[in-house]
Amino acid sequence: MAYRAPVADLRFLLGSVLGTDRLTASERFAEATGETVDAILAEAARLAETVLAPTRRAGDETPARLENGVVRTSPGFAQAYRAYAEGGWVGLAASPGHGGMGLPLTLATCVGEMAAGANLALSLCPLLSQGAIEALEKHGSDELKALYLPKLVSGEWTGTMNLTEPQAGTDVGAVRSRAEPGPDGTWRITGQKIFITWGDHDIAANICHLVLARLPDAAPGTRGLSLFLVPKRLPDAGGEPGPANSLRVVSLEHKMGLHGSPTCVMSYEGATGWLVGAPHGGMAAMFTMMNNARLGVGVEGVGIAEAAYQAALAYARERRQGRSPDADEPGIVGFPDVRRMLVAMRAATVTARAIALDCAFSLDMAAAIGDPAWAARGALLTPIAKAYGTDTGCEVAALGVQVHGGMGYIEETGVAQFYRDVRVTPIYEGTNGVQAMDLVGRKLADGGAAARALLAEIAATAAGEPEGRLAAAAAALATATDWMLAAEPDDRFAGAVPYLRAFALTLGGHYLVRAAAADHAAWAALRDFHLHRTLTETAGLCAAACEGAAGLYAVDLAF
């Protein structure tokens, strides 16, 4: 089944549900007119369908490999990446001053979803470059920006993100890599990093590693971390890739999925690096990169969910078993339980998509008009977009395998690849447990102001929903929010995951009620499915969220 980019859905959500045309009224995004958005979506769809998607299977079947210290990528990846870079897609949202198009993150999010749905393993490479671009734009010196940004924005060079070490995963503060001062204002970086996505490859001329390390006088923990730009090849006087830096790929991981994405163990051996941001300011700079990447990873889940849904629907229409009760649909799609799975896949995909787009839109509004309320809205939505987007990717890919029956378990259908590829997304870029803790910790630390503002928006939508189902969910969520604000940290963290899911499902109801109000014929039935059969979970999730931690420790895990 060939991947088809969901352009109509994206356009409808942007225009009729989120009202993103408000961005065009701002000076910053004045050029993002309806015609520009349509043209970009159409062109990105063409790229995803005809260039990226055809290489997806090759990435799975012929993984990236390490040959004499150099990573060789999967067949077709170099050409597909070149088309992506030459189309200007890496720099879609980057500042025009460095060769970017300066378009909204909302639009880049649409493109990111299509790229992920078409070929997730390959799409990670430009996604990491985009994180590096944002970190350098916000925290890099003028010299670093002038030298590196044009190359990263054009896709000529790529970026990576180096946090993880064997003892430092979720606990980033445990990073041990060291930075010693060099004679010329540069730094010598030494240490081992693991799990570095696209840490080496043969599809671009240079790689800009952003590496967390400690200065000699660093305090322990995250406060003592600094961020460095460490290029694979040191730029020469003309800014072209010169001599090799003192770093190497030690090995590649053998993974459950994402075989086309080289996941590297990296060794920095006195490598030359440049400080990005202030000394000991590494976490602030890295957070810029991680927030961008968290939304981007949520969108990876949405992209795979869409691709898995399309494949399952196509199969269900063709596959015959017994007598379908639906005279118009002789395939298994006519059976109520298969229908249940397909509708659940569609509803979850579209609600996760709407959350991700709303998150991007909020961040764009904050950038366009400088209103801190929009920034807080975007920050609140980021962990929800990451966790719900990736959980949805996993759930929908699993249902996709189920719809295929035994054939789903056989590699040649390609749907097992969706399931294997997407499984890492709830783990990397901060596990989904960490996202939920971020939601009930940092994101409620404003006394709940941003959460209450969003709940008020949902309540306003709910006023137009005659059955009162959305209003009931919003009320349960408001009560759970008050409980979270008053609870001790461990009690909050014990209920953080069900609280985040309840929030996501309620937001899903909000978007679907708005979608049905805008186009009743197309969206009312999906709205009703969500309100009647999924949103009903919210009451149970909110109750579980407010149970506290003690009961978890009361269970004897030895039996």
Q: Which positions are annotated as active-site residues?
A: 429
- Positions 321 through 350 that interact with ligand FAD (CB under 6 A): none
Q: Which helix or strand (DSSP H or E) is residue 469 part of?
A: helix 469-486
Query: Is residue 288 a contact residue for ligand FAD (CB under 6 A)?
Result: no
Residue 492 CB, nearest distance to ligand FAD (Å)? Answer: 12
Rounded Cα–Cα distance for residues 14 and 31 (Å): 16
Binding to ligand FAD by CB under 6 A, coded x per residue (else -) over 470-489, reads: --------------------
Token pair recorded at residue 403? 């719809």
Query: Is residue 422 a contact residue for ligand FAD (CB under 6 A)?
Result: no
Residue 299 CB, nearest distance to ligand FAD (Å)? Answer: 16
Which residues are CB-neighbours of 450 under 8 A, at least 6 positions away? Answer: 373, 376, 377, 379, 380, 443
Give the total of residues touching ligand FAD (CB under 6 A). 19
Rounded Cα–Cα distance for residues 517 and 510 (Å): 11
- In the bound state with ligand FAD, the residue whose beta carbon lies nearer, of 402 and 431, is 431
The residue number whose beta carbon is nearest to ligand FAD equals 169
- In the bound state with ligand FAD, the residue whose beta carbon lies nearer, of 192 and 324, is 192
Residue 297 CB, nearest distance to ligand FAD (Å)? Answer: 10
- In the bound state with ligand FAD, the residue whose beta carbon lies nearer, of 74 and 197, is 197
Residue 44 CB, nearest distance to ligand FAD (Å)? Answer: 24
Binding to ligand FAD by CB under 6 A, coded x per residue (else -) over 153-182, reads: --------xxxx----xx------------
Pick from 32, 203, 422, 434 the residue near ligand FAD by CB under 6 A.
Answer: 434
User: Residue 108 is which amino acid?
Assistant: A
Pick from 279, 433, 441, 448 the residue near ligand FAD by CB under 6 A.
Answer: 433
Span interacting with ligand FAD, options 70-78, 313-321, 422-430, 482-490, rule CB under 6 A: 422-430
Task: List residues bridging with 70 in a β-sheet.
Answer: 67
> Residue 457 to residues 460, 470, 509: CA-CA distances in angstroms?
5, 12, 12
Q: Which of 138, 245, 260 is nearest to 197 (CA)?
A: 260
Residue 288 CB, nearest distance to ligand FAD (Å)? Answer: 15
The answer to whether residues 476 and 465 touch, using CB atoms and an 8 Å cutoff, is no
Query: Is residue 390 a contact residue for ligand FAD (CB under 6 A)?
Result: no
Binding to ligand FAD by CB under 6 A, coded x per residue (else -) over 489-518, reads: ------------------------------
DSSP for 195-211, please give it. EEET-S-SSSSEEEEEE
Span interacting with ligand FAD, options 114-122, 236-244, 400-408, 431-439, rule CB under 6 A: 431-439
Span interacting with ligand FAD, options 29-37, 338-346, 420-428, 464-472, rule CB under 6 A: 420-428
Q: Is 70 helix (H, G, I), strand (E, B) or coil?
A: strand
Query: Is residue 369 a contact residue for ligand FAD (CB under 6 A)?
Result: no
Q: Is 523 helix (H, G, I), strand (E, B) or coil?
A: helix
Which residues are CB-neighbours of 43 under 8 A, at least 6 positions away? Answer: 87
- In the bound state with ligand FAD, the residue whose beta carbon lies nearer, of 249 and 454, is 249
Pick from 431, 457, 518, 547 the residue near ligand FAD by CB under 6 A.
Answer: 431
In angstroms and rounded to an integer, the radius of gyration of the C-alpha atoms of the chain is 23
Pick from 11, 178, 233, 255 the residue near ligand FAD by CB under 6 A.
Answer: 255
Residue 78 CB, nearest distance to ligand FAD (Å)? Answer: 20
- In the bound state with ligand FAD, the residue whose beta carbon lies nearer, of 437 and 454, is 437
Query: Is residue 196 a contact residue for ligand FAD (CB under 6 A)?
Result: yes
Query: Is residue 304 a contact residue for ligand FAD (CB under 6 A)?
Result: no
Pick from 3, 195, 274, 309 the residue near ligand FAD by CB under 6 A.
Answer: 195
Rounded Cα–Cα distance for residues 203 and 200 (Å): 9
Rounded Cα–Cα distance for residues 477 and 493 (Å): 16
The answer to whether residues 207 and 122 touch, using CB atoms and an 8 Å cutoff, is no
- Hey, how many other C-beta atoms are within 10 angstroms of the C-beta on 138? 15
> Residue 465 to residues 10, 12, 15, 503, 511: CA-CA distances in angstroms?
23, 20, 21, 18, 12
Rounded Cα–Cα distance for residues 308 and 321 (Å): 21
**Through-space distance between the first and last CA atoms of the chain, rounded to whole angstroms:** 46
Token pair recorded at residue 55? 């290489």
Query: Is residue 197 a contact residue for ligand FAD (CB under 6 A)?
Result: yes
Q: Which helix or strand (DSSP H or E) is residue 231 part of?
A: strand 225-231
| Footprint on this chain of ligand FAD (rule: CB under 6 A) | 161-164, 169-170, 195-197, 255, 258, 263, 424, 427-429, 431, 433-434
